[in-house]
Amino acid sequence: ARAAAGAMGNRGSSLETAVGNAEKRLGRVSVEGRYHRSPNKLSDDYDVEKKALGTGYSGAVLLAHSKQSKQRFAVKAFKLHGVPKEKKKELVSECEIFLSMDHPHVARLVDVYESDDQLALVMECMEGGELFDRVTARKVFSEKDAAATSFQMLLAVKYIHGWGIVHRDLKLENFLY
């Protein structure tokens, strides 16, 4: 199971600060080719479908295909026009967090697209469903399976806590396969 992008808390005051902080953590090369500002657009590199993979704290998550590789991705888009200052800070925080993450049990950020009116996060598409649905469907887990799943969840939480990040929305629905 991997932790999905949810309501996460951290600090930050602008998108530039978020990129700068991520670059300090990971180095310029790892962020440079993944953070795209206008005139670069999400539609230059991805075909985004209207189909929602799900909805969460921050809105709908849409399915997208890379124009180059045809690989499937999940896209979270945030409108920036008219967004209150506090909400922008939350978006900056989430952007900074995703740019900093690199762990096998945390959904990976692939690209970020920023324009004057929108911020779009392109993430690894986790298509195996939610842990909540698996628990509901199976009803009973062996001790070994429950321990293995719990261990993966705890590894993800430990990793993000190690960065000083609090997820704020830990629930079975936010652990994806």
Q: Is 111 annotated in the active site? A: no
Pair of tokens at residue 176 = 């994806």
CA pair distance 122, 112, nearest whole angstrom: 6
From the list 116, 117, 133, 169, the catalytic residue is 169
Which residues share a beta bridge with 124?
A: 73
CA pair distance 15, 79, nearest whole angstrom: 14
Can you give the C-alpha Rg of the chain in angstroms? 16
Classify 142 as helix, strand or coil. Answer: coil
Q: Is 76 annotated as a binding residue?
A: yes
**Cβ contacts of residue 9 below 8 Å, gap of 6+?**
93, 165, 166, 167, 168
Annotated binding site for ATP: 76
Task: Please list the active-site residues.
Answer: 169
Which residues are known binding-site members? 76
